[in-house]
Every structure is written in structure tokens, then in C-alpha cells.
Amino acid sequence: MQLGIVGLPFSGKSTLFQAITRTHLDAAAVGKTDAHVGVVKVPDPRLDRCAAIFKPKSTVHATIEFVDVAGLKKGATGTAQFTTSFLSAVKNNDALIQVVRLFHNDAVPHPDGSIEPLRDIATFESEFILSDMAILESRIDKIRKQVPRSHDEQAKKELPLLEKCLALLEAEKPLRNEDLSPEELHLLKTYQLLTVKPMLIALSLDESQQAVMDQEIARVAAAKAGPRTRVVAFFGKIDMEMSELSGEEARLFMREYGIRESALDTLIREAYALLGLQSFLTVGEDECRAWTIRAGMTAQEAAGVIHSDFVSKFIRAEVVHYDHFIAAGGSFAKAKEAGHWRLEGKNYVVKDGDILNIRHS
């Protein structure tokens, strides 16, 4: 999974990126047009506990790639043309994190002179909408010229969909919150539209703003949240300092500042929810590992995530839920005695936290 960090200039994107990836971008690189990519292990207490039980040779966390996407300078060109480096960095992102500035910093003033998150979100969104409109208009134009003469069935099928999407964008509605079928989303994929991507709006607060955090989230959510838009908040500066501390020190630090959750934990939890993702585990003396799948996937599909061969060779899945495994003292034998060990067929819908062992031919 890849998440792109986007937003207006000086909103706190690189601060967030450095905090969650525990990297230091040198000052010369920050704010340049290149995208920075960092791979982050998905923190997973269930996996840690299993690793403590099995003491495996290797423990493999699920990972997420974060991309610090520079490149949108508001008004730099006066049009909605994103730089090619911006578009190529964003096109593979599964979801976008739009960083919105709430922190005050006189040394780095907000480019528009004041802190107004809803204005910034609207500014950013309109750039996205205009970019998508330009793509759709030129495609619709082309199809309208060709279709009457051609037998291009694909284009004929696409035209009403593209026109519907264009009308939504003209009404300033980003496509991500619209009710598009999986088939429609699939057809749209080739156009790499920006407003289709699920979005986390991430409010960047400073430490003095803790008291207003929930209120600010609620205010922005009331105006902007939707089926595929969620609103979260984080403390960029504090998170960056925290990223240099060990686990125990970081916990004390958080308690001192009264912070409930690190930016990384918040973003991962919300991104999983936004994208409808969950995890299952495989355990053993060789390897304990967490795997990410879409909620609703069957045992056979989940087996295919482990190894594509397992789809055709799937026989049965042995299933114990993590909670039952721990309740049984970390013993499969005891979980079985308690009736919590099951043999499931290929259509079993995997649950978050299931421990699976795939039997295959």
C-alpha cells in the first residue's frame, strides 16, 4: 500500500513524513520538487505477541510506503497544471493524505497570511477538480468525434460515465465521495483521476492546540467528511521529536504532552479504515508475519496474498482467532480443546486478527 502526502506549501508535509518514516530530509531537499519515499512497518501488537511466543527466525510486519509529494505551488502557473513529477508521484498512491495547516509559526508564515483550514482544503480541492476536468473533457471530446463512426464498444460504454463524472466535478463534487460501482471505478482507472482517490485530511496542529483538536476535527469533518474522506489530526513537531526516542521514552513523552496516539498510529488506523483493509497472521518457529488484505476477502483469496500458487492449490485453512489463541495461553492444542480451532473452506471470509495456516496440495 502506498500513501501520498500532499497539501499546500508550508502545511507540514515534510515534517509529517520525517516523523513517521524516522528520516531526516536535509534542508536542501525539503520543499524541492522531487518526491521522497519511505517504507514504514505497520505497528502490530498482535504480531509482536506472537513473535514473543514462537521466537521465530524472522518476524515480518506489513509495510506501507509513504511518499512526500512536493510540487503543488498554489498559483505558480495560474492554471491547474500539476507538474509531471507531482502526477507521476501521485498516480500509484492508493490514498492521499492531505496535510492542512493549523499550527502557528511566525518564522514560516502561512502563504495566505492566515490559518483557515476550510479555505485551504477548498483551494487544494479545486486544483484537483480542475485537473480531473481537463482530463475528462479532452477524452470526452475525442470519444464524441470518434464514436459515431467507430465500433469502439469500450468507448461507447465509457462516454456516459465520463459525462456523469464531468457533471459532478462541474458541481464541485470530488469523485471519491460519489456512489460509483466497482465496474465504473475500474473503467476510470486508466485516467488516473485525482479526486477518485480516497483522502485522509490530516490537520497539522502544534502542541498548544490539543484542547481544540477534537473540535477542529469535528468542524472540518462536518464540512468535508464523506464515504471516502476521513479527517484526522496530528502534532507534527512533537511527532518529529518523538521519532528520535525509544519506545519507552516516547510513551513517557506522549504522557507528558497528553497525546493519545502517535501520528503514525493514527494514520495507519485511519488509512486501513478508509481503504477497508485488515490483517491476518501466519505464525510458526520459522516466521511470524502480518498480512494486509481487503475486508471481505475469502480464505482462498487471502491464501493468494501469501503465494499466488496457493489460490489453485488451496485445500483448507486452519483458523484460530488471535484473541482465542492468546486466551488459550498461546497454544493451538488448548485453543482446539476449547473449540476455537476450525478447518474452513475456500469461501470462509477471513476476519481481522485471524491466524491462518493454509493447507495446500
Q: Which residue has the cell 513473535?
A: 51
- What DSSP state is assigned to residue 90? H
CB of 35 to ligand GTP, least distance (A): 11
CB of 23 to ligand GTP, least distance (A): 13
Q: C-alpha distances in angstroms, 114 versus 101, 103, 206, 215, 282?
A: 10, 10, 15, 19, 50
| Residue 11 binding: pick among ligand GTP, Mg ion, none (C-beta 5-8 Å cut-off by kind) | ligand GTP
Question: Cα dihedral sign for 293, 265, 189, 14?
Answer: negative
Assess 14 for contact with Mg ion (CB under 5 A).
Answer: yes
Assess 66 for contact with ligand GTP (CB under 6 A).
Answer: no
Site residues for Mg ion, 114-133, by CB under 5 A, read none
Assess 298 for contact with Mg ion (CB under 5 A).
Answer: no
Which of 4, 14, 42, 320 contacts ligand GTP by CB under 6 A? 14
Instruction: List, as one string, the DSSP characters of 303-336.
Output: HHHH-THHHHHEEEEEEEEHHHHHHTTS-HHHHH
- Could you give the 3-state DSSP secondary structure of residue 281? strand
CB of 221 to ligand GTP, least distance (A): 20
Site residues for Mg ion, 20-49, by CB under 5 A, read 30-31
Q: C-alpha distances in angstroms, 331 versus 137, 283, 319, 325?
A: 60, 12, 13, 6
Residues 6+ apart with CB under 8 A from 75: none
Query: Which span sits near ligand GTP by CB under 6 A: 9-17, 188-196, 292-300, 307-315?
Result: 9-17
Question: Cα dihedral sign for 292, 296, 299, 301?
Answer: negative
Assess 111 for contact with ligand GTP (CB under 6 A).
Answer: no
Assess 71 for contact with ligand GTP (CB under 6 A).
Answer: no
Site residues for ligand GTP, 197-226, by CB under 6 A, read 204, 206
| Residue 300 binding: pick among ligand GTP, Mg ion, none (C-beta 5-8 Å cut-off by kind) | none
Which residues contact Mg ion by CB under 5 A? 13-14, 30-31
Binding site for ligand GTP (CB under 6 A): 7, 9-15, 30-31, 70, 103, 105, 108, 204, 206, 236-237
